Amino acid sequence: MRITSAISIAVLSVIVVIMLISVGSMYEATYGSSGSINVVNENVTYSPSGVTLNAVLSASNNGFLPANLQFVNQSLSIPGNSNGLMKISFPLNTSALLNGSFPVKNVIMNVSLLLHMASYVFSVMVPLTLKGIKILAPLENFTLMNIMSRGNGSYLLNTSFIDLVPGFLNLTSITVLLGSTIIGNFNMSGIMQQGPHTTASFVVNNVVDQKGPVNLTFKAGVFTWQVNSQLMW
């Protein structure tokens, strides 16, 4: 009886080892160093809350069992020995964009993410890096061209910039601040049209006892940037 039990345990152990080796081999063949998840294409879209990266991923399942690829609330079921495409969208890091001087300068960044791959016998996290993503600046090279006094602390500011993205953040105006004080709004209506070069003017008020070079802060949605100019008030 003990011999039979020992033989059964030995056989079961062999089966378990074979299954583990089989699962490991299937995982390596499907999601191993050769890689089975690739980026087909990507693009960015703009909204009042920031910039969203949209990508299409191509996933291959070289194993015999069906697998499910998940990223946040998006998923793709892939039968065994099959391929599939999955669309994903996620917001880009606002701080990283601001560190790259967005939205007045183009930003090139790499984005790393983790996708969850699950099957009947394994569940793993698959890393993926999207490299060299170019985020075009909606207000490239935004500069102040000249300042004209209108009296009583009111000034007309003339700007120049390269407009690459029509309808940036769907905004009608950009808030202008001197320090922490709002002094005006840059009206964007009718300005944001795709073109090589754009000039626009706007009025700021309540500029009390301001002398010397201009140091203004502009706020558009979740993005802020500063314009430091040697132009005098």
- For residue 183, pLDDT beyond 70: yes
pLDDT band at 31 (very low <50, low <70, confident <90, very high): very low
Over residues 86-113, the mean pLDDT reads 92
- For residue 34, pLDDT beyond 50: no
Q: What is the pTM of this model?
A: 0.74
Q: How far apart are CA 208 and CA 185, in angstroms?
A: 17
Over residues 195-205, the mean pLDDT reads 78
What pLDDT score does 215 carry?
86
Percent of the chain with pLDDT over 90: 20
Over residues 63-82, the mean pLDDT reads 86
Over residues 54-59, the mean pLDDT reads 92
- For residue 159, pLDDT beyond 80: yes
The pair of structure tokens assigned to 139 is 């207000």
Q: For residue 26, with 0-12 CB atoms within 10 Å meaning exposed, 13-18 middle and 19 or more buried, which class applies? A: buried
pLDDT band at 52 (very low <50, low <70, confident <90, very high): very high
Q: How far apart are CA 167 and CA 189, in angstroms?
A: 9
